[in-house]
Amino acid sequence: MNFNTDIFEQFDKKWALLTAGTENSFNTMTISWGGMGTLWNKPVVSVYVRTSRYTHDFMDKNEYFTVSFYPEQYKQILGILGSKSGRDMDKMKESGLTPVSVSGSMSFKEAEITIVCRKLMKQRLEVKAIPEDIAKALYEGEAPHDMFIGEVVEIIRK
């Protein structure tokens, strides 16, 4: 079996945008935690969103979300979208990305791959169930993460 693939680096090294909402009201943020796999006989993506993120509100309110990946040249923009909140500013104006509607959700024209997901479940990552060193490093005085699992309904390639 050959596990020599960069699949595990997609989120960690390339980062992605997590977007939820529809044309008139949506938000996006940078993520580097996520997974792709199989659950309930379906291809799924899981993402982990702190409850404090503005995007979390959109994940709660919408049935669909997208995870999109970008060429290296957009990394600086992803940095901005991962450090400023849509609560405080017009992120879209600042980023210069071009929003596009996809089935039930939103992505951006500049994406090389957009994975469209139908939300299947949300689950809190309970701090008491997490190893102490990780809990100390990531959750002391910080909002918890909710895991959202979505069924992959479409993969859009440029």
Ligand X SMILES: Cc1cc2nc3c(=O)[nH]c(=O)nc-3n(C[C@H](O)[C@H](O)[C@H](O)COP(=O)(O)O)c2cc1C
Give the interface with ligand X as residue ranges (CB under 6 A): 15, 27, 29-33, 48-50, 53-55, 79, 82-87
Residue 2 or 126: the one with the smaller Cβ distance to ligand X is 126
The nearest distance, CB 64 to ligand X, in angstroms, is 17
- Nearest residue to ligand X by CB is 82
The nearest distance, CB 128 to ligand X, in angstroms, is 20
The nearest distance, CB 2 to ligand X, in angstroms, is 28
Residue 29 or 102: the one with the smaller Cβ distance to ligand X is 29
- Distance, in Å, from the CA atom of 62 to the CA atom of 65, rounded to the nearest integer, reads 7
The nearest distance, CB 16 to ligand X, in angstroms, is 9
Residue 138 or 156: the one with the smaller Cβ distance to ligand X is 138
Residue 22 or 32: the one with the smaller Cβ distance to ligand X is 32
Contact between 81 and 57 (Cβ < 8 Å): no
- Distance, in Å, from the CA atom of 113 to the CA atom of 14, rounded to the nearest integer, reads 12
